[in-house]
Amino acid sequence: MNRRVAVPFPPQRIVSLVPSQTELLFDLGLGARVVGVTKFCLHPAEARQQSTVIGGTKNFHFDRIAALKPDLIIGNKEENYQEGIEQLAAQYPVWMSDIVTLDDALDMMRRVGLITGTKTRAEQLTAEISASLAALPPVDELVSAAYFIWRQPYMVAAAGTFIHEMLPLAGFRNVFADLTRYPEISPEQLAAANPAVILLSSEPYPFQDKHVAEFQALCPQARVLVVDGELFSWYGSRLRQSAAYFQELRSQMAR
């Protein structure tokens, strides 16, 4: 964002506005210093129990944040809203990430480690993630897929998103790569794209097995799978689990 953020070193009272970065802070051993999280910070389980819930990722309770007297707030350009971030940045050190690629995610982890005094642990995490994903065997041919994140209206992950970057690692080619961000898709567009697989993400929309028939009717020739959205879209330390999950999906497709 091309702005200078002055943070006391090491920060002692951290508010995290991003679920995947909350989990990262705990995995860096900083749980005792995390004083505020969002209602969507599901991992680790104790995050919302021991920290104050300051609202959602796109609707902050500014009074709760003020009461916490944070010396560092961590946010993300996509997950948070500009007006709220600007209001916070006028009063507190607000460090923002902007993540599209895997390299962006690894760089974010290293930087968070650097500004929180956990550089060694952050480097260990990023090395583990890099090695696990690099060890995935090459795929002869990617399977064409549409990755849905929402219904009513139907929305997919297209180019310019972290999910789009992760799909090839799981063995898939995004049939909506000619579109950007999270476009609305009509049933006619889906039929024309003709994916071999339809992936229904468990988040942000909570797709479940009961939704499979709906998409099967839209695209009878496609295989419809409900997938763990966290392992495609959480760009923090949860990426340690992604390689094994992607290999499992590859094996499932092979069967």
Three-state SS for 48-64 is HHHCEECECCCCECHHH
**Residue range 134-184, pLDDT digits in tens:** 999 999 899 999 999 999 999 999 999 999 999 999 999 999 999 999 999
In the block, residue with structure tokens 């953020």: 5
Separation CA 53–CA 72 (nearest Å): 16
123 and 155 part of one domain:
no
In a domain, residue 5? The reply is no
- Segment 49-60, tens digit of pLDDT: 999 999 999 999
Domain extent at residue 174? 143-254
What pTM value is reported for the model? 0.93
Domain ends where: 133, 159, 174?
133
In this prediction, residue 254 has a pLDDT band, given cuts at 50, 70 and 90, of confident
Considering the domain boundaries, does residue 18 fall inside one?
A: yes
Which helix or strand (DSSP H or E) is residue 144 part of?
strand 143-150
Per-residue confidence (pLDDT) for residue 26, from 0 to 100: 98
DSSP-assigned letters across all residues of 164-195: HHHGGGGTEEETTTTSBSS-B--HHHHHHH--
> Which tens digits make up the pLDDT trace of 124-135?
999 999 999 999
Residues 128 and 219 in one domain: no
Domain count, the chain: 2
pLDDT tens for each residue of 177-232: 999 999 999 999 999 999 999 999 999 999 999 999 999 999 999 999 999 999 99
Can you give the pLDDT at residue 3? 83
Peptide bond into 137 cis (omega under 30): no
120, 26 Cβ separation under 8 angstroms: no
Assigned domain for 7 exists: no
9 part of a folded domain:
no
In a domain, 1, yes or no: no
Give me the chain's average pLDDT, please. 96
Helices 119-134 and 102-116, packing angle to 10 deg:
160
116 occurs within a structural domain: yes
Asked if 190 and 218 touch (Cβ cutoff 8 Å), the reply is yes
Tell me, yes or no, whether 88 lies in a domain. Answer: yes
Query: Per-residue pLDDT for 255 more than 90?
Result: no
- The pLDDT score that the predictor gives to residue 142 is 95
User: Above pLDDT 70, what percent of the chain?
Assistant: 100
Q: Say whether both 129 and 194 belong to one domain.
A: no
Contact 222, 196 (CB under 8 A): yes
